Amino acid sequence: MIELASVGRTYGSASAPVTALRDVNLVIQRGEFMAIVGPSGSGKSTLLNLIGCLDQPTSGRLLFLGEDTSTLNDTKLSRIRNRSIGFVFQMFNLVPELTVYENIELPLVYAGVTRERRALTTKVLERVGMDHRADHPASLLSGGEQQRVAIARALVNDPALILADEPTGSIDPDSAEQVMELLGELHDQARTIVLVTHNMSVAAVAQRVVRIESGTINEIGAAVRPDDRAAAAAVMPAPDWTPLR
Ligand code: ADP
């Protein structure tokens, strides 16, 4: 589905370059559940942004569904993002003043979907168990609830690929378990999932773990079997968590 060949990403100026990724070779197969792990500053978010067509490599090639992303214009890239990719972020990135329902339908509004909008929004709202909060402002939800809404928003366009950047990083352990179960179920339904985390217990829920250090992929290993997901989620350490008032 996605292929990175000798990909590099350098920020900054020619006189003071910051190399975030160097010579990354990686193939992500359709239907895979992959976790990218590594310490802070190792290049995880940079890699996820490239996979999500939010950014372009400064060297090497990235193929998304067989197309070299460097040859695509902004319109084509945003169409890929809108139709093929669902994004889930650590801080949820919901619009606080909109309701749960309105947040979830937003990608369909952007995509110009009118006739099926209500049915599609309601389906994913129920899918993540948030239908009882449909008319609630997003700002009044707990972190775990906000993340479920964010997952519903990522799913509403029925994307083939879900990219999740530290999706359990700002929520309580019980909610983190629910979020990881939800991602596991989405994977079971043949979606491709790429998850960034610095938490090895979270990564253990994936099929495959890619470790990145100083911008280089230096280890690729298999994670636990899907049957062990609940056990892995149960041992997740409590993150720093401040409940919403
Ligand atoms: P991680 O997600 O693993 O914490 P990042 O991908 O955010 O790592 O960052 C990798 C490296 O690239 C770090 O050294 C970081 O400081 C640098 N970096 C990331 N984004 C930028 C940017 N926009 N401008 C300059 N340097 C950046």
Mind giving me the DSSP string for 170-195?
A: TS-HHHHHHHHHHHHHHHHTT-EEEE
For residue range 185-233, what is the model confidence (pLDDT) as tens digits? Answer: 889 988 999 999 988 888 888 989 999 999 999 766 665 544 555 544 4
- Choosing from 10, 11, 19, 22 the residue with most ligand 1 atoms within 8 A of its CB, the one to mutate for a pocket test is 11
For residue range 44-98, what is the model confidence (pLDDT) as tens digits? Answer: 999 999 999 999 999 999 999 999 999 999 999 998 998 899 999 989 999 999 9
Nearest CA to ligand 1 atom 6: 43
Residue spans of the domains in the chain: they are 33-53+74-234
Ligand 1 center to 149 CA (angstroms): 28
33-53+74-234 under CATH 3.30.470.20, yes or no: no
Q: What are phi and psi of 104, to 5 degrees?
A: -70, -35
Nearest CA to ligand 1 atom 21: 11
- Give strand ranges (E) for the chain: 2-12, 17-28, 33-37, 59-64, 67-68, 85-88, 161-165, 192-197, 208-213, 216-222
Distant-in-sequence, close-in-space partners of 158: CB < 8 Å, separation ≥ 6: 120
Residue 14 has pLDDT above 90, yes or no: no
For residue range 18-55, what is the model confidence (pLDDT) as tens digits? Answer: 999 999 999 999 999 999 999 999 999 999 999 999 99
